[in-house]
Amino acid sequence: MRVLMTGASGLVGTALAADLRAAGATVNRFVRSGTAAAAGDVAWNPETGEMNLTAAEGSDVVVNLAGASIGGGRWTAKRKALLRSSRVDLTERLVAGLGRLKKPPAILVSASAIGYYGDRGEESLTEASASGQGFLATISQDWETAAMKAEQFGMRTVIARFGIVLAKKGGALPQMLTPFKMCVGGRIGSGKQWMSWVALDDVVGSIRSAIADAAMRGPVNIVAPDPARNADFTRALARVLHRPAILPAPAFALRLMVGEMADALLLSSQRVVPQKLSERGFRFQYADLEAALRRALGA
């Protein structure tokens, strides 16, 4: 099996590529035209969609994980434009390029996020739930629409709606650790908001499962079965780190520090469940939050 990947150097891409190679797959990357490329990599220009079609021929699966970091900076108008273009526009161009191949790949797995659902309070959210409101929800909706156009070229398309990925060297968790290491950690806002998390190992496993399972298509929630309230997540993290969790971060202070991003990423509530993965018999290695945190942090 030959897999082509965008975002191969990111948190999920690095782990997935290593796992696929260990299983015997050939993994090649989409790389910017003019940059150093390994044998089998595909040169392309994500701004124009120009692609080395000859190099891309013969792929079985494409995994699209590209996208600028949502938490990588305050959401100025310029930053928002980058977040959108690196997801929606890039995916549109990628799908169009794949559609020009003599034989498009059989499968496209394209990233999205549970931000699709917006701030939903206590509502239990499955893949069948309606989309929400706000910047992240709008981007996710358009991102998914761009990816689903691959179906018209005969590609079985899976939309991976990622929750909070727990890993030591990337994602949200390293940023959460800093206040605890200084013994000033605590819940965020009221602490009542739901956090839908997932261990990196289970992210990799779920993508592998989506590739292998011919019945899997459309949106798939990649989250652990038991989301946690922020206060419970905070206490679990404190136990793993052997640190106190006694100083809450007030909502107003977070809004002053990071603006709109505070409500979208830190204070919103998304109680998401992995209905499709559960129905297809996927077994999570880390369904328990504290075990997942210990695995992520090597504790």
Query: In this structure, is residue 240 part of a structural domain?
Result: no
Q: Which of the residues in the chain have pLDDT under 50?
A: none
- CATH code for the domain in which residue 200 is found: 3.40.50.720
Query: DSSP assignment, residue 249?
Result: B
pLDDT in tens, 55-102: 999 999 999 999 999 988 889 999 999 999 999 999 999 999 999 999
pLDDT in tens, 158-189: 999 999 999 998 888 988 888 888 777 889 99
Residue 49 counted as domain residue: yes
Any alpha helices (H) in the chain, and if so which ranges? Answer: 11-22, 53-56, 77-84, 90-99, 135-148, 173-181, 200-212, 230-241, 251-258, 260-261, 275-279, 289-297
Domain extent for 80: 2-166+196-223+271-285
Alpha helices per DSSP H over 109-199: 135-148, 173-181
Please, are residues 188 and 250 in contact by the beta-carbon 8 Å criterion?
no
Number of folded domains that form the chain? 1
Question: What pLDDT score does 205 carry?
Answer: 98
Model-level pTM? Answer: 0.95
User: Rounded CA gap, 89 and 227, in Å?
Assistant: 31
What is the three-class DSSP state of 6?
strand
CA distance 100 to 53: 8
Q: Within a domain: residue 65?
A: yes
Say if CB 52 and CB 44 are below 8 A apart: yes
Residue 295 maps to a domain:
no
